[in-house]
Structure 1
Amino acid sequence: MRDSRSRATKRMVAVLAVIAILAGCPGMVAAQATPIPGPPGTLDAIDEYVLYDPVLRPYRQAVIDQTAGAISHYAIDATVELATGTTPSRITGSVALAFVNGGDEPVEAVYFRLYANDPRYAEGAMLMREVTVGGRPVEPVLSQADTVAEVALPAPLGPGERIDIDYLFRTAVPTAPEQSYGLFSYQPEGGTLVLAHWLPLLAGRGADSDWNLEAPSTFGDVIFSNIALFEANITAPDDLVLVSTGTAVVEASEDGTSRHRIVTGPVRDLTMVLDDDYEVATIEVDGTLVQSFYNPEHARGGELVLDYGARSLALYNDLFGPYPYEEMDLVDLTVRNGAAGVEFPQLMFIGGSYYDQERDAPDDPPTFLETIVVHEVAHQWFFGLVGNDQYQDAFIDEGLANYMSTEVYYAAAYDTEVAAAERARQLERPYLDRLFGPGDVIVDQPTDAFASDGAYVVAVYGKAALGFHAIREEIGEEAFIAGLARYTAAYRFDVATPADLLAAFEAASDQRLDELWRHWFEAAEGTDDYGPEDLEAIRNA
């Protein structure tokens, strides 16, 4: 295992080289311990690296240099069938996976997540069968209530080495399950099939290369995964609009079905949404096609979502470095159980119940719909480009996204007074209610170690964002943004840790921030910063 503090220091030394790659300068090809030729259909046999076509041309070669041959590659062929009567919606298909060991040590088994088997998905289910490894049959061993599948390898696979794993799968999609966020479901009220984690996916591996095989998270994001390439042929009813991670093109239509060809570039997973009456509004931002898909009754909200998405994309491009993909999609659908939006690579779910929110006058405060959109767009950097293990360190991506979507975005889009008001309303008020009610809570702890969902939300979304505000106040605006840009450049397409983010802020500011970091993220000392009078003032504002 690697020492995360040492790792952070080494990565910061390399930041200038990575920034040069982002600017289009020649980069270094990611090293493999034992390079071996790929089988037909992998990068070795594809002209012009077509799997990278969804990456914007100015950044494509740098991304190829960084990832080609160093990340796994899924080739998927699947058919989608909608629910009929008592039969749930189904997906059946095959996967040819070229698995690359991206860790530092040999592995003797590969692990997959079958999230659809989580009991919260009711009649949802996933079966992985006819598995072969290097052409030899292997029987998967299930654990964690059948949400983890272990596939043994014939021999240890060294760092950078690759092996073929082929399998068939069958997935049943639940209809409006009550105990989930709705991110894997058929929603009959909207005619929408929502397909996150719809196939067996490689389990996520942390910065220490260990597999995360925990039970699906109770409070936080379910999916933790690493960067891979996805290509898919999806056959679906031809009266459905398909929206997905990456770029999707209809290649053929016959017998009431359409075949969609999807290519993603390097991303953490492939998510899809199919709907019977989506309309779309589009705009281009810095070469990226931003698309807002909405139900017809939400036309005005769909236009507003497009505007918020475009404005936040432009801002974050300037602050943190470029969003490198050709498309970014925002999708109107039903989310449940306290969620207002959910992020996926290049694709964001926006809760349809908020689409009727609009400011009536210029002096009105921003709507929560705007906050949802710009929060999810921020996740395209903090989760999408730079990963973290949400089961262990959820405050990194959620706290950063929430701070970006209140203080930083609103200061740029409106003014500093609006930003301060939103910080008080969205961050300080919930945290102070907790602080002077049930009591303070430590931010940096595993997601399911929190005492309740309420404690998790206040800590990870509220107090964590206030901690980043304290760092910004301490080191100044310029160093704070520079630190985030360094962090993004150093850990792009990787998995980062809290120590990595702290080191980025310290390098950008030339200050030691250990004590400030401990105070906000590792301790319950909120009464050092606030008194009951602060809560009363916010309540009366």
Structure 2
Amino acid sequence: MKKRKFAIRLGFILVIIGLSLLLFQKGHQKEIQKITEEIMINCPRYEMDVTFYPEEKRIAVIEKVAITNDKAKAFQELYFHLYPNAFKSLDEAPFPKEEIQQAYPDGFEPGYLYVKKISDESSKVNFEIENTILKVMPSKLLEPQDKLVLTIEFDVKIPPALGRFGYGQNTFNLANWYPILAVYDEKGWHKDPYYCVGDPFYSEMGLYDVSIRAPKAYKIAASGSLQEKIVEAGNNVIWNFKTELVRDFAWISSNKFAVESATVDNTQLMSYYFEGENKKYGLKALEYAKNALGFFNEYFGKYPYSHYSVVASDFYIGGMEFPNLVMIGNEFYGSSGFFEYVVVHETAHQWWYGLVGNNQVEEAWLDEALAEYSTLLYYDYFYGRKNGQKVYEQAILNPYKLYEAAHTPGPILRPLSEFVDWKDYSAAVYHKGTIMVKDLEGRIGKGKLQQALRYYFEQNLYKNATTADFIKALNHVTGVDWTDYINDCLRSTDILDKAS
């Protein structure tokens, strides 16, 4: 009888615990929904009609962007980034000089964005362009809470560059390709140039509705979700994509794509690869991304989007993250090497920079070191701590020691303008940043660091976070002030002494 009463009480307690967890999850979901709705009210909304001319290596675009002034001041001028203009000349192209041959294997040709006309709801609007910055002067002052819709008509010439923006033998890579509203914060307008080292991007969340008219032989992988494909009379298909809250919109097109798909929780996962012998690696990419997406969902917080694509690309730099989509250099499809590592690292960026943003020009460590640390967690989980430690030593610790032996290392926290080259950037941002996070794990424990990262994720979802926000998450979870430790590590030139 006592056993029966105990079992009844235990069952009752478990029911109460289960209901409490369910109520907590529902409350948490409501809070996230509230945050999402608040950001959606004031975020910029982009509508774009794109016509793609692959034979001419260009696109023609009509972009409408709806802007709400959610700041406390009025604006007479608005600023947009025109990143394609960084590709106008060989001297200014955003690649290190020693990598120009890799970037332009078939020789240099210019790329650029040509603005034909800008208008608002009532009239034509004056504008000025200086390099990669577009200054727009609306016909009337944009007061706080005022709304404005600008229509920008432009053409883009796509260069033969194997980078984020350009084309190769297999793909057209259209990233950072349209006028995107610059961030205005407590420091004013951020009008940073397209640096050749690092990821020189800083943007707010927005909503996108993009229609791309392309020849029917071409498939398109893009940010957001494919709403419909309209087959026109003749040779064209219109692909319509819509996004939820994302930082920008990228798309990749090829007439050689084959696609495999899978489902992870509520997300459809797509692997784009080139037809033929690459299918084995297309399936491998799908497997790696599926494992990573599922693991990060549980470890950090749910991926809220319905689609995610891993796309083989003519991209010599390795891998690159965009909302709902990552580029993976085609050279990885045919060898094991770091293929899995790159796919997992770029998938981790869907959390760090995608969902929780940061100023990659001024605080690049925030997304890169966290993406690297997340990749190490993946290896710990799927291959065991010993193998995870081996990957840490091979990918992070030993490369940094080799760099340190031949160079005077600089601090982790520097703006992109202060990095000498990619080696300097990688040693500081990827390697030293990850060494710091691993040392932090040793000091507070893996469980506490997970709690801190989950808190950091939840508090900064859809926002742009800073180093101070990361420290705030650590302090909240541990009850200890980590300000001096983090700042000392970020500014130290000798991370191995500091993180020990």
Q: CA deviation at 1:62?
A: 4.7
Secondary structure of the corresponding residue to residue 140 of structure 1: strand
Q: Which has the higher contact order (CA 8 A, sep 6+)?
A: 1
Q: Distance in 2 between matches of 1:128 and 1:223?
A: 21
Q: Distance in 2 between matches of 1:396 and 1:478?
A: 20
Q: What are the residue-to-residue correspondences of 1:283-294 with 2, within 5 Å?
A: 283-294=262-273
Q: CA deviation at 1:346?
A: 0.2
Partner residue of 1:352?
A: 330
* 2:131 matches 1:151: no
Partner residue of 1:328?
A: 308
Q: Distance in 1 between matches of 2:390 and 2:176?
A: 37
Q: CA deviation at 1:139?
A: 2.0
Partner residue of 1:125?
A: 112
Q: CA deviation at 1:129?
A: 2.7
The answer to whether the Cα contact below 8 Å between 1:103 and 1:209 also exists between their aligned partners in 2 is no
Partner residue of 1:95?
A: 63
Q: Distance in 1 between matches of 2:40 and 2:164?
A: 30
Q: Distance in 2 between matches of 1:261 and 1:247?
A: 8
* CA deviation profile, 1:61-94 (whole Å, cap 9, x unmatched): 55652323221101111100013xxxx4111121
Q: Give the counterpart of 1:112 among 71, 80, 85.
A: 80
Partner residue of 1:476?
A: 445
Q: Distance in 1 between matches of 2:361 and 2:38?
A: 26
* 2:299 matches 1:319: yes
Structure 2 vs 1, CA of residues 335 and 81 (structure 1 numbering), >3 Å: closer, same or farther? Answer: same
Partner residue of 1:74?
A: 46
Q: CA deviation at 1:241?
A: 0.6
**Scaled by the length of structure 1, what TM-score is found?**
0.81
Equivalent pairs: percent with the same residue? 25
Partner residue of 2:97?
A: none
* 2:489 matches 1:504: no
Q: Distance in 2 between matches of 1:391 and 1:22?
A: 36
Q: CA deviation at 1:134?
A: 3.7
* CA deviation profile, 1:468-509 (whole Å, cap 9, x unmatched): 111111111122111111111111111111111111111111
Partner residue of 2:192?
A: 214
Secondary structure of the corresponding residue to residue 470 of structure 2: helix
* CA deviation profile, 1:498-531 (whole Å, cap 9, x unmatched): 1111111111111111232123211113352599
Aligned residue pairs, count: 456
Q: Distance in 2 between matches of 1:422 and 1:290?
A: 26
| Worse overlay, 298-307 or 62-71 | 62-71
* 2:29 matches 1:24: yes
Q: Which has the larger Rg?
A: 2
Structure 1 gaps of 5+ residues are 1-18, 28-58, 359-366, 532-541
Secondary structure of the corresponding residue to residue 24 of structure 1: helix
Q: CA deviation at 1:330?
A: 0.2
Structure 2 vs 1, CA of residues 124 and 299 (structure 1 numbering), >3 Å: closer, same or farther? Answer: same
* 2:164 matches 1:196: no
Q: CA deviation at 1:326?
A: 0.4
Q: What are the residue-to-residue correspondences of 1:253-272 with 2, within 5 Å?
A: 253-272=232-251
The answer to whether the Cα contact below 8 Å between 1:246 and 1:264 also exists between their aligned partners in 2 is yes
Q: CA deviation at 1:172?
A: 0.5
Structure 2 vs 1, CA of residues 527 and 257 (structure 1 numbering), >3 Å: closer, same or farther? Answer: closer
Secondary structure of the corresponding residue to residue 42 of structure 2: coil
Secondary structure of the corresponding residue to residue 471 of structure 1: helix
Partner residue of 1:182?
A: 163
**Scaled by the length of structure 2, what TM-score is found?**
0.87
Q: Distance in 2 between matches of 1:311 and 1:246?
A: 21
Structure 2 vs 1, CA of residues 67 and 440 (structure 1 numbering), >3 Å: closer, same or farther? Answer: same
Q: Distance in 2 between matches of 1:440 and 1:126?
A: 38
Secondary structure of the corresponding residue to residue 137 of structure 1: coil
Partner residue of 2:390?
A: 421
Secondary structure of the corresponding residue to residue 391 of structure 1: coil
Structure 2 vs 1, CA of residues 223 and 253 (structure 1 numbering), >3 Å: closer, same or farther? Answer: farther
Letter in 2 for 1:137: K
Give the superposed CA RMSD: 2.0
* CA deviation profile, 1:215-266 (whole Å, cap 9, x unmatched): 1112011432211000012111111011110112202332100011110111
Structure 2 gaps of 5+ residues are 1-23, 88-92, 95-108
The answer to whether the Cα contact below 8 Å between 2:272 and 2:310 also exists between their aligned partners in 1 is yes
Secondary structure of the corresponding residue to residue 314 of structure 1: helix
Partner residue of 1:393?
A: 363
Q: Distance in 1 between matches of 2:465 and 2:249?
A: 21
Q: What are the residue-to-residue correspondences of 1:221-232 with 2, within 5 Å?
A: 221-232=199-210
Q: CA deviation at 1:385?
A: 0.6
